[in-house]
């Protein structure tokens, strides 16, 4: 086992919001310089979130640790300098000025990677934040802005039956959890 076989996890600090761009730039730069055998993995931990955009559910990946990129590598020779000299890279987490980057401890790595696995396997698991009789406000769809009362919660369909007063008359509506908010 040579020195190049020993790879440890490090954390690279980067400009927040640029993590994926920096990761791809880092990968191409490492390949270009022929250091790909020293770098095993570059990871930007993300989680899936559901947002409503123009009345539609949109699945989006959100960076879990904004401003941080995980890298498993053997940081020998020029690699730390190559990584630090990339645009929007601030440096390595935990390094003292002029010192070497400090690798993560095994416990931290397992916790971090466990969290990444947990986030990727987590399917739309939105808890039911509403109960019968609760006052809500419709925030999406044709009845946007109307207030109402939760009459029934349908967990299977992930829908709410809401009673809304329209033109002075109570009207039942079936809405998803994402279309309403608590008043």
Give residue 26's pLDDT.
94
User: pLDDT tens-digit profile of 134-154?
Assistant: 999 988 888 888 999 999 988
Instruction: Classify residue 130: in a domain, yes or no.
Output: no
Q: Domain range for residue 115?
A: 3-121
pTM equals 0.60
The better pLDDT of the pair 126, 15 is held by 15
Pairing of strands 147-154, 135-138: antiparallel
User: pLDDT tens-digit profile of 57-108?
Assistant: 777 788 888 999 999 999 888 888 899 999 999 989 876 666 778 888 888 8
| Closest C-alpha among 23, 26, 48, 65 to residue 120 | 48
Can you give the CATH number for the domain in which 107 is found?
3.30.70.940
Shared-domain flag, residues 12 and 94: yes
Shared-domain flag, residues 90 and 161: no
Shared-domain flag, residues 117 and 32: yes
Cβ neighbours for 41, distance < 8 A, ≥ 6 positions apart: 70, 71, 72
Instruction: Classify residue 93: in a domain, yes or no.
Output: yes
Q: Bridge-partner residues for 183, per DSSP? A: none
Instruction: Classify residue 16: in a domain, yes or no.
Output: yes
Instruction: Kindly compute the dihedral angle of the four CA atoms of residues 56, 59, 65, 70, in this order, to the nearest 10 degrees.
Output: -150
Neighbour-count burial of 183, counting CB atoms closer than 10 A to its CB (0-12 exposed, 13-18 middle, 19+ buried)? exposed
What's the domain count of the chain? 2
Instruction: Classify residue 115: in a domain, yes or no.
Output: yes
Structural contact between residues 76 and 4, judged by C-beta atoms closer than 8 angstroms: yes
Q: Final residue of a domain: which of 81, 96, 121?
A: 121
User: pLDDT tens-digit profile of 152-161?
Assistant: 988 777 788 9
Pairing of strands 135-138, 89-92: unpaired
| Closest C-alpha among 147, 176, 142 to residue 160 | 176
Establish how many alpha carbons lie within 13 A of residue 65's alpha carbon, considering only the half-sphere containing its beta carbon.
Answer: 15
Give residue 55's pLDDT.
66
Shared-domain flag, residues 68 and 150: no
Shared-domain flag, residues 116 and 140: no
Shared-domain flag, residues 74 and 143: no
């Amino acid at each position: 086992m040579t020195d190049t076989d020993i790879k440890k996890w490090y954390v690279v600090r980067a400009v927040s919001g640029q993590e994926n761009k920096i990761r791809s730039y880092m990968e191409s730069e490492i390949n270009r310089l022929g250091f790909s055998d020293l770098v095993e993995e570059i990871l930007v931990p993300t989680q899936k979130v559901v947002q409503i955009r123009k009345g539609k559910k949109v699945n989006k990946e959100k960076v879990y640790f904004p401003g941080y990129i995980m890298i498993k590598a053997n940081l020998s020779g020029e690699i730390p300098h190559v990584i630090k000299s990339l645009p929007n890279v601030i440096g390595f987490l935990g390094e003292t000025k002029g010192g070497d980057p400090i690798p993560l401890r095994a416990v931290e790595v397992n916790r971090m990677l466990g969290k990444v696995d947990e986030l990727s396997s987590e399917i739309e698991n939105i808890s039911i934040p509403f109960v019968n009789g609760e006052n809500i406000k419709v925030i999406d769809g044709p009845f946007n802005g109307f207030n109402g009362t939760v009459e029934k919660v349908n967990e299977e369909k992930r829908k709410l039956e809401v009673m809304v007063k329209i033109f002075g008359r109570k009207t039942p509506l079936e809405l998803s959890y994402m279309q309403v908010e608590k008043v």
